Copies of this chain bind each other. A is one copy, B any other.
Amino acid sequence: MNVHSNSPRVEDILQRLRRAGHRITPQRLAILRAFADSHSHPSVDMVYAAVKPNFPTTSLATVYKTVVLLKELGEVMEIGFGEGGNRYDVRVPTPHPHLVCTRCRRILDAELDALDHLTETLAQSTGFRILSHRVDFYGICPECRRKAAH
């Protein structure tokens, strides 16, 4: 992705930012691009590291503030991890299952059609009004398994 074109997802967010009365600063644009370009689920530090080379004056605090803003607008979903900081999903900012490799720390999206049905069953049997979920599977990704086998 070159520096002068935005992905549809970035344009999308930019539009909503403007509509909500927020300003498009060069820092924000760079942070948005870093988020959208990241095919994994980046941490704040990863985004910061990706932004700094193109925009050396950007501060970590600004990345954090931008993340807060994007969370408020629902454009980013936070996945809480104890170690090494939270990770974020800009591509699919709604609850969905993840596959987390505990070796390389990569996070992949997973398909699990059965989940909706499961949620409903659980709601009925417990009386809970279920509004959201967090479904993460931890293990070793195919790549790391291959490496481990020499």
Contact = CB atoms under 8 A, between A and B. Distances in A.
Interface of A: 78, 80-82, 86, 97, 99, 101-102, 108, 110-112, 114, 118-119, 122-123, 125-142, 145
A110 B134 contact: no
A136 B139 contact: no
A138 B133 contact: yes
Contacts of A122: 97, 99, 110, 112, 137
One complex includes copies of this chain to the number of: 2
A143 B127 CA distance: 9
A106 to B, nearest CB: 10
A99 B128 contact: yes
Contacts of A118: 112, 114, 118
Contacts of A78: 82
A129 B140 contact: yes
A126 B119 CA distance: 23
Contacts of A131: 102, 138-140
Contacts of A80: 80-82
A80 B101 CA distance: 17
11 contacts: A78-B82, A80-B82, A99-B130, A110-B126, A111-B125, A112-B122, A118-B118, A128-B137, A131-B138, A133-B137, A134-B135
A116 to B, nearest CB: 12
